[in-house]
Structure 1
Amino acid sequence: MRQPTGGRDPYATAVSNAVELEAARRSYLTAGRYVAARDVVRPEVLASWERSRWHDVDPDRITARFLGHTHAAPSVVACANDVFDAFVKANEDGACSLALLDTGGVVRARCDGDGALAHLLDAVLLVPGYDFAERAVGTTAASIALHEQAGAAISGPEHYHSQLTCLSDAAAPVIDPNGHDLCGVVTVISHHGAETPLQLALARMLAEQIADRIAGEPQRRSQIILEQFDHRDHEGTWVVATDGNFVTSNAAARQLDATDLRALNDLVLASLMLQDFATKHLDLPANGCAEVTTEPIWMSGELIGCLLTGRKAGSRPSPELPEGIRRQGSHVAPLTRRDYAKDVRGSDRAQQEHAKARIRANRELLTPFLRARHEVVASIGQGRNHLLIGEPGVGKRTLVLNQFRQSFPLGRVITVDCATMAGEAPTRLDDLTNGLSADLGDRPHLLLLRGINGLTPVGARRLDEALRPLVALPTPPLVVGSVDIAAVDATRPYGLLLRHFHEITRVPPLRYRLDEVGDIANSVLRKLAARRSLRLSLQVVRVLESYAWPGNISELEDVLRYVVAHKPVGEIQPPDLPQLCFQGRARKMSMLEAAQCDAIIQALYESRGNRYKAAEMLGIARSSLYRKIDAFGISYIA
């Protein structure tokens, strides 16, 4: 349509600008410098072109790499998904796509309102998990917004990459309202030619909505947990909920003995940390057997808490039957035969509860390391100082570090070797105390004290003086000590430090964990030969399980280190092991081994030699039962 004299055709003007931009882009890519008029390309776009050329970006081929998804997605990703979904549902005819990029330029979320545009974005790898930064694809609105930390809009030929010139995008930064730091950018993408001046305004509005949702995220999490808590709060039911930092209990749970309530709190925290949700029986210190159920609490696909409900065993009310079933002679009455001798035979329920309690006791007897792991997880979750005792090399330090890293990936670990503290102990401890007092913040800290049984009386006193001020800090560090002996002796110098620890756990030696020797050996082998194709044969695993391991995991590491040094690749066979692994263990059984052996023999006698039933009575796997029978030399029981 021809415009009146003196006016300009907007369409012709847009085409002319696009042609000039494309000519400027091609000349820049060919000559390596900008030769057109200065007002054709904006300064921020030209600066981005220069950075893209410095990064050696291929302008004709997409080289975006898949970097993967984060295991623990930050709250900005969940909030962005919620905001994007709400916008697309409210604007179904919006021909645009929304994306969130993190501070590194990696796509973390995307929501599409146009199918054709979605296929186009898939083709250029603007997909969650892919690196779409300036170093990978050149100039985009998101890359300029990340560099300038301000809103930016890019149209068609202003993109450095030729496959992106068919797009127009606008980006706005998302500012964390808590720390006022940049936590990502929101990008609104459309076809080139379909952009509007409101595209940048829309990006800024969505960024503000995400920031507002981040600010209300803690209250939203607490609200969801409390809603689940109120929904399960019935008369006579214990209800305990946690988000990992705080524990909430109802009136029925608070009426329990203090030791019973603490056991419930430990269980709900351990279930959240280990993500172990099931219905199980729990032996309470004061009230005996109880039936408890742990359930996860989710928010936008993220695990935010755990809910525990329970009652004393045998006190669960029977469900009410419908009126039609309770009426005698009704056509909807139960068709099964009535058991008139049920009350005469005795209390089958009591026998079942006794059998379940016995299974739990046998499981704890035969798998002592599992109980130790649960206690450590609960202490880390509640911030209770813990003392671990056990023989040298049983993996006390590894157990604590793995569980602490799993609970707090960004936490800091400070290790102190108490055995090396001598004359310089006062200076080192003063520096440690001052450093912790100045460095502690919201970031969790773990103070790991190794070998405190090697402290001298002077060193124990100085360490006690250094630990006392840490309690008064706003966020005191978690203190975990290790004693390389099988039992605690309060008369030794380290007995002065026992008051700083709330829990004491004995970590069993490796000879009591023969079921896990194969998994531990494979884990150690992966660390020692990370880039080699080495694997353990089944025969080697059987040899390792039959050895006593007096040096525990440290000795196992030495054996595998010897194997790796002599066998570069391939499957490890028994001849590759050192001779010490084939030595018999003619030794006297310990009290724990004798108790385990007696429990297995009793279960085999009661099941008349049926190993399937015996394993079920003991609460362990059949393979574990077979290994223990071979280890203890138990004869066949018919």
Structure 2
Amino acid sequence: MGWSAVEIEAARSAFDTSGQHVGARDVIAREALRPEVLASWIRSREAGVDAARIGARFLGHTPEVPPVVSAADHVFDEFVTANPGSGCSLVLLDSSSIVRCRRDDGPELAAVLDGLLVVPGYGYAERQVGTTAATVALHERADVAIGGAEHYHWRLAGLAGAGAVVTDPHRGEVCAAVWLVGPASERSALQLPLARVLADRISERIAAQPHRRTRAVLDALERVRAADQWVLATDGDLLVSSPSFRRLSPTDQRVVSDLVLSALVLGQVGQRHVELPSGACAEVTLQPIHLDGEVVGCVLGGGRTQHGEVAETPEAVRRQGSHVAPLARRDYTKDAGPARTHADAKVRANRELLSPYLRARQEVVASIHHGRNHLLIGEPGVGKRTLVTAQFRAAYPTGRVVSVDCSSFTGRYGVDPVRGLAPTGDGRPQLLVLSGMTTLSPVGARKLDEALRPLVALETPPLVVGCVDSPAVDATSPYGLLLRHFHEVTRIPALRYRADEISELALTVLRRVAGRCSLRLSLQVIRVLEGYAWPGNISELEDVMRYVVARKTMGEVQPTDLPPLCFQGGARRMSMLESAQCDAIIQALYEANGNRYKAAAMLGIARSSLYRKIDAFGISYIA
């Protein structure tokens, strides 16, 4: 039989006035306090808990949501939805006694808990607020109910709660505690078993989390699955496919699987046109896989384009010159029906032509997930190392990155360029970036080749990415000896081919180099930057932004604030890629009768991007 609040307050008085534990022994003799409650009072007093104020402090949130928190969110939401009017609040404290989530049944109790700082992100340990059901449960590793005057802090005496520990089913350790709390006047013997049920449900959900992701991927595969259709579904680790897809050649399978992996990482879903290495074309649809409101995977469905779906481009719409109109009016009724598939494919092909950096990023993402060594080529300063490092960090936040500057590697004996890639034993993915491979000497290339060979024998071999500061691969150079270590080659386009991204890149670089300076770019400055050839690529863009910051600390950057080099360079000869982009824009303008809105839709790009490219290429008005 429990004791009354008056008797517990008398025990508190005896506890507070005893300098030693004599008074505490008297309390135990009268059995007014349970041993676990008395032990918590003693720990609270030794920690110097101030019973006159709540000592909780905001400690912040974790960058990633732990599995126990996501599981508790779902379990708490289910309980509150199924039991309206329960009159209690559900709180989860992690193993460090930090409040991670809370659900309230009514505004009155929520206001009380807010005033007591029982708020997500606040530390609510025993050394800060004294005795609570959750703190005692975490310390004793056992379920416990604490109510009314049993709380050490007098402001908590109006509450009654039960704490139940949550055990991680994978590690067998206590990872959190469920605190079911309500008014002391409504204290019930059912609080403790209810808290225990909620804690068990959270543990079960943590145990089933990997299987739930797998189940979601398999369910998505079944939903999209159709006869003679390719279907792939992945969550980044697991990749399942239909029998029709597995009948493709290995090279075609790799291209399609790379596409679904890159779509998952980059979030680019929808219809896509794919050109396969076997020479066939395919139309596929990419859809996200959702689980508890989050994207956990991607599913691809589609197949080869049938011969009847490809319509030959009418002769009347073929451009006869850079600025010469078609010979005859186009019959737009031919676009109805099966020919529309070809038009959609043309839009997607134009989008890839006008956005070359997107295709390069997709190839890098796919190689990272497949563990294929990649060789990145391109002009100096295009951001090869930055691209692969950023995508690797996005895929593996805890992975390790080791960089080797080939320009400083002379191949001296006794120097191991990959010494930082020793087996860690913790299973963390590793990335080795070889920058400046064109500067390798013959001796350095041979020593680097000898150092890379043993990596394939490791239990988890690192991902190797090489950076060649050249738009083409020269197998006769010293670094040609290392080409056998790479499975893929991707060309990173120069900055002058990425006119659509120059404004965003300039703003990003400006924020990084400006520090506390408050600067913004005017529209005139963006036009100047988009019209410049950028022979030094992103490195030159960074130098220009530093020049601006050194001479202007706040306000809007005007063209007069830019260095003179940004206004140099008249007409230049277009490259093959720029010529192809220009031809595609002119063709679209002709087909749209000069309507730039329709032309942008036909090209699959934004209207503002079309305007910038028209200005950059000097395309005259077409009507």
TM-score, length-scaled by structure 1 = 0.83
- With over 3 angstroms needed to count, the CA separation of the structure-2 counterparts of 1:564 and 1:183, relative to structure 1, is farther
Please say if residues 585 and 603 of structure 2, whose CA atoms lie closer than 8 Å, have aligned partners that are also in contact. Answer: yes
Asked if residue 20 in structure 1 is aligned to residue 20 in structure 2, the reply is: no
Asked if residue 394 in structure 1 is aligned to residue 387 in structure 2, the reply is: no
- With over 3 angstroms needed to count, the CA separation of the structure-2 counterparts of 1:461 and 1:630, relative to structure 1, is same
Task: Give the letter aligned to residue 291 of structure 2.
Answer: M
Question: What residue number does 2:619 align with?
Answer: 634
Please say if residues 411 and 447 of structure 2, whose CA atoms lie closer than 8 Å, have aligned partners that are also in contact. Answer: no
Deviations 1:496-545 (A, max 9, x none): 22222221111111111111111011111222234332222222222211
Q: Distance in 1 between matches of 2:463 and 2:425?
A: 11
Q: Distance in 2 between matches of 1:559 and 1:144?
A: 60
Shift of 1:580: 1.7
- With over 3 angstroms needed to count, the CA separation of the structure-2 counterparts of 1:356 and 1:580, relative to structure 1, is same
Deviations 1:211-249 (A, max 9, x none): 343233222221222122223322122110111012111
Q: Distance in 2 between matches of 1:380 and 1:272?
A: 13
Please say if residues 447 and 477 of structure 1, whose CA atoms lie closer than 8 Å, have aligned partners that are also in contact. Answer: yes
Asked if residue 588 in structure 1 is aligned to residue 573 in structure 2, the reply is: yes
Asked if residue 67 in structure 1 is aligned to residue 55 in structure 2, the reply is: no
Please say if residues 547 and 585 of structure 1, whose CA atoms lie closer than 8 Å, have aligned partners that are also in contact. Answer: no
Q: 1:422 aligns with which of 398, 403, 410?
A: 410
Asked if residue 367 in structure 1 is aligned to residue 347 in structure 2, the reply is: no
Deviations 1:58-87 (A, max 9, x none): 94367654835x564222223223444555
Asked if residue 42 in structure 1 is aligned to residue 42 in structure 2, the reply is: no
Deviations 1:232-276 (A, max 9, x none): 322122110111012111111112233332222112111111122
| Secondary structure in structure 2 of the residue aligned to 1:291 | strand
Question: What residue number does 1:515 align with?
Answer: 500
- With over 3 angstroms needed to count, the CA separation of the structure-2 counterparts of 1:362 and 1:115, relative to structure 1, is closer
| Secondary structure in structure 2 of the residue aligned to 1:539 | helix
- With over 3 angstroms needed to count, the CA separation of the structure-2 counterparts of 1:116 and 1:347, relative to structure 1, is closer
Question: What residue number does 2:88 align with?
Answer: 96
Ranges in structure 2 where 5+ consecutive residues have no aligned partner: 28-36, 310-332
Deviations 1:266-308 (A, max 9, x none): 1211111112222333333336333322222222223221111
Q: Distance in 2 between matches of 1:430 and 1:415?
A: 9
TM-score, length-scaled by structure 2 = 0.85
Q: 2:229 aligns with which of 228, 237, 249?
A: 237
Ranges in structure 1 where 5+ consecutive residues have no aligned partner: 1-9, 318-344
Shift of 1:163: 3.5
| Secondary structure in structure 2 of the residue aligned to 1:281 | strand
Q: Distance in 1 between matches of 2:335 and 2:532?
A: 46
Q: Distance in 1 between matches of 2:233 and 2:308?
A: 20
| Secondary structure in structure 1 of the residue aligned to 2:71 | helix
Shift of 1:569: 2.1
Please say if residues 269 and 377 of structure 1, whose CA atoms lie closer than 8 Å, have aligned partners that are also in contact. Answer: yes
Shift of 1:138: 5.5
Q: 1:252 aligns with which of 241, 244, 258?
A: 244
Please say if residues 98 and 120 of structure 2, whose CA atoms lie closer than 8 Å, have aligned partners that are also in contact. Answer: yes
Please say if residues 411 and 448 of structure 2, whose CA atoms lie closer than 8 Å, have aligned partners that are also in contact. Answer: no
Asked if residue 385 in structure 1 is aligned to residue 373 in structure 2, the reply is: yes
Q: 1:625 aligns with which of 598, 602, 610?
A: 610
| Secondary structure in structure 2 of the residue aligned to 1:392 | coil
Asked if residue 534 in structure 1 is aligned to residue 519 in structure 2, the reply is: yes
Shift of 1:456: 2.2
Asked if residue 166 in structure 1 is aligned to residue 152 in structure 2, the reply is: no
Q: 2:445 aligns with which of 416, 439, 460?
A: 460
Shift of 1:375: 1.1
Please say if residues 51 and 152 of structure 2, whose CA atoms lie closer than 8 Å, have aligned partners that are also in contact. Answer: no
Question: What residue number does 1:271 align with?
Answer: 263
Identity of aligned residues (%): 54
- With over 3 angstroms needed to count, the CA separation of the structure-2 counterparts of 1:173 and 1:532, relative to structure 1, is farther
Task: Give the letter aligned to residue 368 of structure 1.
Answer: P
Task: Give the letter aligned to residue 294 of structure 2.
Answer: E
- With over 3 angstroms needed to count, the CA separation of the structure-2 counterparts of 1:283 and 1:423, relative to structure 1, is closer
Please say if residues 49 and 139 of structure 1, whose CA atoms lie closer than 8 Å, have aligned partners that are also in contact. Answer: no
| Secondary structure in structure 1 of the residue aligned to 2:24 | coil
- With over 3 angstroms needed to count, the CA separation of the structure-2 counterparts of 1:421 and 1:305, relative to structure 1, is same
Please say if residues 438 and 468 of structure 2, whose CA atoms lie closer than 8 Å, have aligned partners that are also in contact. Answer: yes
Deviations 1:586-615 (A, max 9, x none): 432222222222322333333333322322
Please say if residues 78 and 300 of structure 1, whose CA atoms lie closer than 8 Å, have aligned partners that are also in contact. Answer: no
Shift of 1:151: 5.2
Please say if residues 52 and 139 of structure 1, whose CA atoms lie closer than 8 Å, have aligned partners that are also in contact. Answer: no
Question: What residue number does 1:450 align with?
Answer: 435
Task: Give the letter aligned to residue 361 of structure 1.
Answer: A
Task: Give the letter aligned to residue 272 of structure 2.
Answer: K
Please say if residues 426 and 462 of structure 1, whose CA atoms lie closer than 8 Å, have aligned partners that are also in contact. Answer: no
Question: What residue number does 1:177 align with?
Answer: 169
Question: What residue number does 1:407 align with?
Answer: 395
Aligned CA-pair RMSD: 3.3
Q: Distance in 1 between matches of 2:296 and 2:442?
A: 46
Q: 2:486 aligns with which of 465, 485, 501?
A: 501
| Secondary structure in structure 1 of the residue aligned to 2:368 | helix
Question: What residue number does 1:550 align with?
Answer: 535
Q: 1:142 aligns with which of 134, 140, 157?
A: 134
